[in-house]
Amino acid sequence: MSFATLPDLILEPLVKSALMEDLGSYGDVTTRAVIPDDVTYSARLRAREEAVVSGMQVAALAFRLVDATLEVKTRVADGAVCQPGDVLMEIEGKAASILMGERVALNFAGRLTGIATLTAAMVSETRGTQARITCTRKTTPGLRMVEKLAVLHGGGFNHRYSLSDAILIKDNHIAAAGGIRAVLDATKAHASHMMAVEIEVDTLDQLREVLEVGGASVVLLDNMTPAELREAVEINAGRLALEASGNVKRDTVAEIAATGVDYISSGALTHSARTVDLGLDF
């Protein structure tokens, strides 16, 4: 399991934007009206269900950006498993500052813990196989950085972060370029030697053509049945990395992993994860 972190410097613009959205143009008028500035408190962020934790780094940063004098102590690290009632974080200091950061911290932590938890469940279905679970670019706009981090916390792996990371030739690229041979020849002519190349195929005949033409290092087997995936593994004979994609859910992933593919990508990790119930108790 990965206990990945990012420098706060990278995360700060994202968290600051969320705080500005929540505080509006005039700040927290409720807190300012009813909580004296000199009131201090100790708050605890608790889990209300079993989960794989993510977003603690982000939540802590949210509180510190509201008020650098707050003392924030993470009790359960990102990537660890929590149980109902576990204290994940303690925040001490001005009550007004804690209240101003509460919702943004909980929004991030609940959402990211949900992604990590779903990822861990998917990963558990692959035990005994060589398959790795990876996410996709089907992320919430603006939140890709932290959602992909949450996948790592759940024991998964990241696919491309952006369109500039690697060449991934999809079916529409193949159609527009004039076929598999044409698109792979063009890639060989123009791609940097440092740029990985993956190509999507829909049929086993297309896989055979990719192996004949060369130029790719990974083949994405799109929406193939388990029987087709097993045959693809036999045809490939270890020459290229194989990635299965399409309709990958928790109840299908074990059968896909058993076919012998190297990677299984699932957009559901980020677009369909349920927010985990967390709460801040005074």
Q: Rounded to two decimals, what is the model's pTM?
A: 0.95
* Alpha-carbon gap, residue 254 to 222, rounded angstroms: 17
* % of the chain at pLDDT higher than 90: 97
CB atoms within 10 A of CB 228: 17
Active-site positions read 103, 138, 170, 200, 222
Helix (H) or strand (E) holding 161: none
CB atoms near residue 36 (< 10 Å): 9
pLDDT tens profile 204-263 = 999 999 999 999 999 999 999 999 999 999 999 999 999 999 989 999 999 999 999 999
The pLDDT of residue 53: 98
Provide the total of helices (H) and of strands (E) in the chain, helices listed first.
11, 12
Q: What's the one-letter identity of residue 205? A: D
Tell me the torsion sign for CA atoms 229, 169, 252, 250: positive
